[in-house]
Amino acid sequence: AQSVSQHNHHVILSEAASLELGCNYSYGGTVNLFWYVQYPGQHLQLLLKYFSGDPLVKGIKGFEAEFIKSKFSFNLRKPSVQWSDTAEYFCAVNALRDTGRRALTFGSGTRLQVQP
Amino acid sequence: EPEVTQTPSHQVTQMGQEVILRCVPISNHLYFYWYRQILGQKVEFLVSFYNNEISEKSEIFDDQFSVERPDGSNFTLKIRSTKLEDSAMYFCASSSASTSGYNEQFFGPGTRLTVL
């Protein structure tokens, strides 16, 4: 079974600071990787996804993530955060191509607070 | 832009009562899911549904839970006899039937269930 670890539970940054949120997963096979964001009072929205190909993926709102297979990691980055990036960020994984299972396994989330 | 909708947004019930949470998935999607998030914990997979039957379920999805697609648009989660520990945010999601081994799940806004 897969598991996902997000080691940063709460991150506080000032506007314009750079962001990197860690995500590690445990599964030795082929994975699909996702970052979802949940703005206050809103539903989960997909920020970006990795399926195959270029391990550096770009998502919406200037976010990107890098898949490093050897480290089982899929860290989320943004060069310069804005106050509007204040939200909770969830990393998720599934191994659909190996297992046929579509269920997403989520990390515990990272609460990002951006101070103006 | 099409989206997943859920009703009600907040449901309060007494322990032992039955509740039905409703979802309207995106219209051309064929896979439907329920997840839940207990306050302060991870988003956890409950069940997925395809072609009018359960395709996957987690160990959380025991006999007190059931899902149904009663008509062409709704997808429901029934909890037969609620317990205090069922208090959580319940998210519905849907995805298309990709044959390429990848699925992006679109989430609804959630129903907050409070069991007293």
The residues, any chain, with a CB within 8 Å of residue A116's CB and separated by 6 or more, are A15, A83
**Which pLDDT does position A42 carry in this prediction?**
84
Whether A20 shows a pLDDT value over 90: the answer reads yes
> According to the 3-state scheme, what is the secondary structure of B35-52?
EEECCCCCEEEEEEEECC
Residue found under tokens 């329920």:
B34
Whether B64 shows a pLDDT value over 70: the answer reads yes
| Proportion of chain A above pLDDT 70, given as a percent | 100
Over range A38-51, report the average pLDDT.
Answer: 90
Give the minimum alpha-carbon distance from B78 to chain A in angstroms, rounded to a whole number: 19
Q: For residue B99, give the chain A residue with the closest CA.
A: A97
Q: For residue A99, give the chain B residue with the closest CA.
A: B101
* Type and span of the H or E element at A99: helix A96-99
Cis before B8 (ω within 30): yes
Q: What average pLDDT is seen over chain B?
A: 92
Binned at pLDDT 50, 70 and 90, residue A71 comes out as very high
Cis before A55 (ω within 30): no
Of B55, B56, B107, the CB nearest to A44: B107
Tell me if residue A98 falls in helix, strand or coil: helix
Residue B84 vs residue B103, higher pLDDT = B84
Q: Which residues of A touch B (CB under 8 A)?
A: 30, 32, 34, 36, 42-46, 49, 51, 90, 92, 94, 96-97, 101-109
